[in-house]
Amino acid sequence: MEFRFQKLEIWQDSVVITKECYQIVDHLRKEKYYSFSDQLARASLSVSSNIAEGSGSATKRDFANYLNISRKSLFECANIIIILNEYRLIDENEMNRLLLIFKNLSAKIYYFRQHLLNT
């Protein structure tokens, strides 16, 4: 059995982001940076979770709202990654690589949301 959200490219991409973030989370936990690791874990999981939850909505407008929340969680991930770089817990190349991935997914979510609202 497959859920509707599993077919969505934005959900598939969000799972990749969660995996990427959890690699950093694992490192942060080993170094005992629990507040950073816990917040990044929650924010990254929220991206895919809100896409999945929203796909079960009864209306396109409701789904679009969940996509907005998902996108905001992605911005939260970006913020945490930038702060981790400021604290030298990840290097600049890793930060830039992740921010590009986040930016690309953010655009996909935005355009998919716009499509939902305009149809």
Q: Which domain holds residue 67?
A: 10-118
Tell me, what's the pLDDT at 1? 85
Asked, for residue 86, whether it belongs to a domain, the answer is yes
Asked, for residue 36, whether it belongs to a domain, the answer is yes
- What total number of domains does the chain contain? 1
In this structure, the number of other CB atoms found within 10 A of the CB of residue 119 comes to 6
Burial of 27 (0-12, 13-18, 19+ CB in 10 A): middle
Q: What is this structure's pTM?
A: 0.93
Q: Given CA atoms 63, 68, 74, 76 in this order, what sign does their dihedral have?
A: negative
Longest dimension (CA), the chain: 48
Positions in the chain short of pLDDT 50: none
Asked, for residue 80, whether it belongs to a domain, the answer is yes
**Which tokens belong to 83?**
């702060």
Strands (E), 1-119: none
Q: What is the CATH number of the domain that holds 76?
A: 1.20.1440.60
Asked, for residue 3, whether it belongs to a domain, the answer is no
Tell me, what's the pLDDT at 31? 87
Asked, for residue 79, whether it belongs to a domain, the answer is yes
Asked, for residue 2, whether it belongs to a domain, the answer is no
- Whose tokens are 């059995």? That residue is 1
